[in-house]
Amino acid sequence: MPDRLTSMHIFARVAALGSFAAAGREAGMSQTMVTRHIASLESRLGSALFHRSTRRLSLTEAGRIFLDGSQRILNDLEEVEQSVSAQRSEPRGCLRLNAPVSFAVRHLAPLLPEFHRLYPHVQIELGLNDREVDLIEEGWDLTLRIKRMASSTLKARKLANIRFTVCASPEYLERAGTPRTIAELSEHTCLGYTLSTITSATRWVFGAKGTHSVPVQCSLLANNGDVLREAALAGQGIIYQPVFMLADELRRGRLVCLTLDQPVIDPAPLHAVYAPATVTPLKVRVMIDFLAGHYLPQPPWEIDLP
């Protein structure tokens, strides 16, 4: 009979990866062996854990309940092992790190070679998502989120303030004129980000507390800020995006910040978010400290802005 803890771990990875084959590859075992582990659990529990079809693998209700309990048990086991080896001077293992696409490409990925030199025994699995991932259900050790954290069981450490700006290319402003008030934005062509939790794609929010808003007409809506930045650089319209995405273009004068009659919204905090634990894994702690050392007190994208 397969070892129950191993079966539990394999089950959790199948649920996270959505594939028996992918879980097998990760664990270095055959798909047949993965199937045997899952079958052993289902036989013991007397319930199917997955809905299986040729196209999709999804958890049953029993599977969701068992996944929640399995993750608690596996996390507790990792905490116990970490407690025993807490004095180990060198972090090890795979760190599953998730971050927003545009931020990660500009301000996370360039730091990873230095992190590897400092901690050569930590392997990083980097996932890029503009949507907000479920840290626990999807199995991430650490995520970076640009948002104000609501009450949560998750732990978070603030790494930076993310400022926003409204800007356009000199070519667009020469052609369409420069708006001076937020009301005038309604008369201009704008570019909207559809995944924002800070302001709507088609109704932009202004003021320190977000007390003013204005409807905007967008020639392009996108769920990725890089697409919108490229459109703004090409003179397609006005963009309302985080400064970290636009800093290089602002320094070179390829984009120009607009001065309006209302300030942009307050900065949104960048948080490192991780699961609560009696002992936070060393690999997670060193990554958070490493990022804080690069982003605090002043993040690099804010240096030498016009």
- pLDDT at residue 86 greater than cutoff 60: no
pLDDT at site 1: 55
Class of domain 4-84: mainly alpha
For CA atoms 280, 283, 287, 293, the dihedral sign is positive
Give the model's pLDDT for residue 156: 93
Confidence (pLDDT) at 220? 97
Q: Does an H or E element contain 95, and which?
A: strand 93-99
Alpha helical stretches, state H, the chain = 4-17, 20-27, 31-45, 61-84, 101-107, 112-118, 170-176, 225-233, 243-252, 282-295
CATH number for 93-160+268-302 (one of 3.90.1150.10, 3.40.190.10, 3.40.50.150, 3.40.50.300): it is 3.40.190.10
Beta bridge partners of 241: 165
Q: Hey, what are 210's tokens?
A: 């977000």
Q: How far apart are CA 23 and CA 160, in angstroms?
A: 35
Q: Are 234 and 227 in contact (CB under 8 A)?
A: no
Compute the distance between CA of residue 116 and CA of residue 232 in angstroms, rounded to an integer: 36
Residue 87 has pLDDT above 50, yes or no: no
Q: Please tell me the distance from the alpha carbon of residue 96 to that of residue 189, in angstroms, as a whole number.
A: 40
DSSP helix/strand/coil, 258: coil
Residue 171 binned pLDDT confidence (cut-offs 50, 70, 90): very high
Other beta carbons within 10 angstroms of residue 83's beta carbon come to 12
Is 256 exposed, middle or buried (CB count within 10 Å of its CB: 0-12, 13-18, 19+)?
middle
- Between CA 6 and CA 17 the distance in angstroms is 16
Q: Average pLDDT in the 33-50 region?
A: 93
Residue 257: name the closest of 163, 148, 146, 130 by CA.
163
Residue 146 has pLDDT above 60, yes or no: yes
For residue range 181-225, list pLDDT tens digits in order.
999 999 999 999 998 877 889 999 999 888 999 999 999 999 999
Q: Does residue 81 register a pLDDT over 80? A: no
CATH H-level, domain 164-257: superfamily: Periplasmic binding protein-like II (3.40.190.10)
What are the tokens at 16? 């996270």
Q: How does pLDDT run across 216-275, given as a tens digit for each residue?
A: 999 999 999 999 999 999 999 999 999 999 999 999 999 999 999 999 999 999 999 998
Phi, psi of 13 (to 5 degrees): -75, -35
Answer whether 0.75 is exceeded by the pTM. no
Equal CATH topology for 4-84 and 164-257? no
Whole-number average pLDDT of the chain = 91
Q: At 278, which amino acid appears?
A: T
Answer yes or no: is pLDDT of 91 > 80: yes
pLDDT given at position 134: 86
Locate the domains of the chain by residue range.
Answer: 4-84, 93-160+268-302, 164-257
Is 97 or 89 the better-scoring residue by pLDDT? 97
Note the pLDDT of residue 53.
81
Instruction: Render 20-78 in DSSP notation, one character per residue.
Output: HHHHHHHHT--HHHHHHHHHHHHHHHTS--EEE-SS-EEE-HHHHHHHHHHHHHHHHHH
- Over residues 125-138, the pLDDT tens digits come to 999 988 888 888 88
Maximum Cα–Cα distance across the chain: 74
3-state secondary structure at position 271 = strand
Type of residue numbered 22: A
